[in-house]
């Protein structure tokens, strides 16, 4: 087995998602119904998807927003570290902006978005605390974070986390619900609610205070 840390988690993540861009991969779609129901489309029209993949979720968000011609509040952006994923997203979504970028250094101004979505990407971040700080910076006051992540019971999580450094798909760590909540609360977010989507998947709603 290759030792992940020798190449770096970031490089392994890029390489992995560039490879799977041509395939049907992952289970982020299981979050979509809940995520779409947690957005207020009348007031939340500036939306960022971190780790957007091929843009399938944002395509549904765009449909839910309906006609937005001339709406200066409208802004939908997808960011992904994989160039191949972004190329696929651009082909499938003509009305959405897609950017190759790193969630640890977001190329956006302060208070730029009303909603930030992040599905099944958080466990790939080498410095999750920095990502949370960046989310806080680019989210406007009163804005929401919708985070979907793997959720494993304690013993399985411990075993998986021991194995992850020896894999080559860029996974860094699977976090417990408490670890996720505390990281966001420490930065200043307010925990609103969470929900199991599947026994191994959970979605969280957190808010930046007014």
Task: Give the domains, in start order, of the chain with CATH numbers.
Answer: 4-207 (3.40.50.150)
pLDDT value, residue 21: 76
Nearest residue to 108 (alpha-carbon basis) of 146, 133, 134: 134
Provide the CB-side half-sphere exposure for 140 (13 A, CA): 11
| C-alpha R_g of the chain | 16
pLDDT per residue rounded down to tens, the chain (210 residues) = 344 454 587 888 888 788 877 776 666 789 999 999 999 999 999 999 999 999 999 999 999 998 888 888 999 999 999 999 999 999 988 889 999 999 999 999 999 999 999 999 999 999 999 999 999 999 999 999 999 999 999 999 999 999 998 888 899 999 999 999 999 999 999 999 999 998 899 999 999 999
Outline where the chain has alpha helix (H): 4-7, 9-20, 32-37, 56-65, 83-92, 128-138, 154-163, 177-187
pLDDT value, residue 3: 44
pLDDT value, residue 188: 98
Task: Enter the pTM of the model.
Answer: 0.92
pLDDT value, residue 25: 61
pLDDT value, residue 118: 98
pLDDT value, residue 1: 38
């Amino acid at each position: 087995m290759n030792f992940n840390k020798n190449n770096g988690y970031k490089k392994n993540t890029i390489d992995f998602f560039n490879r799977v861009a041509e395939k049907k991969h992952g289970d982020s779609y299981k979050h979509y119904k809940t995520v779409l129901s947690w957005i207020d489309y009348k007031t939340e029209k500036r939306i960022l998807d971190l780790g957007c993949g091929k843009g399938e979720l944002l395509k549904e968000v765009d449909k839910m927003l309906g006609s937005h011609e001339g709406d200066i509040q409208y802004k939908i952006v997808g960011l992904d570290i994989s160039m191949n994923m972004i190329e696929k997203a651009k082909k499938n979504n003509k009305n959405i902006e897609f950017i190759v970028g790193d969630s640890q250094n977001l190329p956006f101004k302060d208070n730029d978005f009303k909603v930030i979505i992040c599905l099944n990407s958080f466990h790939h971040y080498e410095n999750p605390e920095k990502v949370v700080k960046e989310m806080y910076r680019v989210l406007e006051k009163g804005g929401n974070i919708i985070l979907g992540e793997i959720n494993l019971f304690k013993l399985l999580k411990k075993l998986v986390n021991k194995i992850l450094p020896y894999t080559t798909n860029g996974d860094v760590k699977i976090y417990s619900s408490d670890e996720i909540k505390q990281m966001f609360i420490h930065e200043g977010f307010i925990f609103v609610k969470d929900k199991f989507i599947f026994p191994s998947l959970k979605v969280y709603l957190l808010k930046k205070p007014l």
